[in-house]
Amino acid sequence: MNILKIAWKEVKHDFRDIRTLVFMIAFPIVLMLILGTALTGAFDGGDFDDNIALDDMTVLYENSNEPIQQPFDAFTKELEKSGIHFERLSKGTNGKDQVEENQADAYLSIDEDGAKLYLNDQNSIGGSVIQGSLASFVDQYNLITEISKAAPEKLDTVLTASTDHDYIKDQTLLPDQQPGSMDYYAIVMTTMIALYAAISAAHLITQERSRHTADRLMIAPIKKSEIFMGKLIGSIAINTVCIALVVAFSIIFFHANWGEHLGLVALILLTEIIMAISFGLGLSFLFKTPTAPMPVIMIVLQLAAFFGGAYFPIGDADGLLKLMTNISPLTLENDAMFQMIYANDLSLVIPAIAMNLGISLLFLVFSTFALSRREGL
């Protein structure tokens, strides 16, 4: 009960703080609009012109896994129709080099352990197509092997059935399903602004202290944990509403594509908000002065946003840049989102959620510990 009262009070605070509200809602929308329209050209699928036909593409491949050869051939034949040509890698040439030199669009290496795909980034749509098709193929093949283990007699039917499969359609790889610049920025801005919840979270406790209301809360017959939980829940609620508004706005006015798994999108965003809030809270306990966490949070947020591709997509990277990109939590969030929305690939959803909750747990444990040690709030 007390938790809810405190949560409700937090929500009131935030709704009356017009500046923050505008920042949390208008800022990402305006950025989406600016970046989304200004950088249209930079995205291949930016204009929804149907004329973009896929150029013929060449995929070099190498296969040391014999049993897969037959279904693979069937697969390549199917793709041949869509203008994707598979060529066996000639001896003595390095597939990766070929791709790098733009001699081929992709290089596929299949062995006992699985398949590895090297893509040429200069043709990102093509890359997506190949990747998507291949993913679908691998799924199918795994299915086949499973069946062959369980019921070998049905294998034939599956195999024959599968040859009719249109791999590309199966992946819903329609041209207008590519992320346009507006789609791209709708997603990255939303994930970025979700991280900004850390700023308001850093104020949750310090503000009570600077307003001296912390004393009032502390002398009331309620537990510290209730105050803590109430504030946490209130903050999560208000930020969730903000993000939901941003998402709704981007859908209604920018027609941004959020894919079909809206529930999972919401789940990722929610856990990201929790992570951001925990991070902000944790930092506010780490520093003695109320102002000290802000620069740290801002730097971390900006770096995470930058390397996570919030301002422009960071495609190919290596060395330090790659390291930084990998460290940014936004990279994983955004990858998970794009994979889910455009490739129907849910494999990154759980890692993203797990990372969010893991980091949250870390900071929350720390905050609770710090709070219990402290006199007052």
Partner 1 sequence: MNILEIKHLTKKFGDFIAVDDMSLTVGEGEIFGFLGSNGAGKSTTINMISGLLRKNNGSIKMLGKETNKHPIFIKKHIGLVPQELAIYEDLTAYENVSFFAGLYGLRGEKLRSRTIEALEFVGLAEKHKSYPKSFSGGMKRRLNIACAIAHQPKLIIMDEPTVGIDPQSRKYILQSVQKLNEMGCTIIYTSHYMEEVEEICTKIAIIDHGKIIADGTKEQLKSLITDSKLIYIDVKDTDHVDIDAIKAIPGVANVTLAENTIQIHTELGANNLNQIISYFIENKIEIRTLDEKEPNLETVFLTLTGRTLRDA
Partner 2 sequence: MSKLILIFFIMLTFLYAAAPNLAWGILFLLLYISLNITIHLLKQRYIVSLFLLVSVTITLIACVQANPIFILLMPLSILELCQLWTKKTIIPIVFAISPVFYIQQELQAVFLLVAIYTITIFTFEKYNEQKHVKNEQQLDWMRNTNQKLIKQIHENDTYLKQSAYMFRLEERNRISQQIHDDVGHAITGALIQMEASKRMLHVDKEKAEELLQNAIGITQEGIEHIRLTLKNMKPSTEQVGINRLKLIIDEFTAKHDKQTILTYDGDIDQVNAFQWEVIQKNTTEALTNTMKYAENSTQIAVNVIVLNKLVKVEVKDNGAGAERFEKGLGIIGMEERSASMGGQVIVDGTNGFSVTTLLPLQSN
Distances (CA, A) of 159 to 67, 70, 144, 145, 319: 13, 10, 8, 11, 43
Distances (CA, A) of 99 to 15, 40, 118, 128, 322: 53, 27, 7, 15, 20
CB of 360 to partner 2, least distance (A): 9
The only residue of 122, 326, 374, 376 in contact with partner 2, by rule CB under 8 A: 326
Q: Which does 169 bind (CB under 5 to 8 A by kind): partner 1, partner 2, none?
A: none
**Number of H-type helices and E-type strands within the chain:** 16, 4
- The continuous run of DSSP H or E covering 257 comes out as none
CB of 347 to partner 2, least distance (A): 9
Cβ-based nearer residue to partner 1, 85 or 209: 209
Cβ-based nearer residue to partner 1, 1 or 150: 1
The set of residues, in sequence order, having a beta carbon less than 8 Å from that of 282 and lying 6+ positions away, is: 362, 363, 364, 366, 367
Determine if 369 is a binding residue for partner 2 (CB under 8 A). yes
Cβ-based nearer residue to partner 2, 189 or 332: 332
Determine if 332 is a binding residue for partner 2 (CB under 8 A). yes
CB of 212 to partner 1, least distance (A): 4
Cβ-based nearer residue to partner 2, 90 or 372: 372
The only residue of 141, 287, 311, 366 in contact with partner 2, by rule CB under 8 A: 366
CB of 320 to partner 2, least distance (A): 11
Q: How far apart are CA 354 and CA 364, in angstroms?
A: 15
CB of 335 to partner 2, least distance (A): 9
φ, ψ (nearest 5 deg) of residue 55: -65, 160
Q: How far apart are CA 152 and CA 148, in angstroms?
A: 4
Q: Does residue 232 sit in helix, strand or coil?
A: helix
Structure tokens at 24: 């949390």
Cβ-based nearer residue to partner 1, 13 or 193: 13
Cβ-based nearer residue to partner 2, 7 or 332: 332
Determine if 8 is a binding residue for partner 2 (CB under 8 A). no
Residues in 284-323 that interact with partner 2 by CB under 8 A:
322-323
Q: Which of 142, 128, 140 is nearest to 166 (CA)?
A: 140
CB of 24 to partner 1, least distance (A): 16
CB of 70 to partner 2, least distance (A): 27
- Helices 349-373 & 224-254, crossing angle to 10 degrees? 150
Q: Which span sits near partner 2 by CB under 8 A: 37-45, 64-72, 196-204, 363-371?
A: 363-371
Q: Which of 178, 220, 143, 157 is nearest to 377 (CA)?
A: 220
For residue 144, how many other CB atoms are within 10 A of its CB?
18
Q: What x/- string results for residues 74 through 113 when contact with partner 2 is judged by CB under 8 A?
A: ----------------------------------------
Q: Which of 93, 101, 100 is nearest to 62 (CA)?
A: 93
Cβ-based nearer residue to partner 2, 282 or 293: 282
Distances (CA, A) of 346 to 158, 167, 264, 352: 24, 18, 9, 10
Q: Which does 355 bind (CB under 5 to 8 A by kind): partner 2, partner 1, none?
A: partner 2
Determine if 281 is a binding residue for partner 2 (CB under 8 A). no
Burial 175-203 (b: 16+ CB within 10 A, else e): bebbbbbbbbbbbbbbbbbbbbbbbbbbb
Determine if 365 is a binding residue for partner 2 (CB under 8 A). yes
Q: Binding residues for partner 2, per CB under 8 A?
A: 322-323, 326-327, 332, 348, 351-352, 354-355, 358-359, 361-362, 365-366, 369
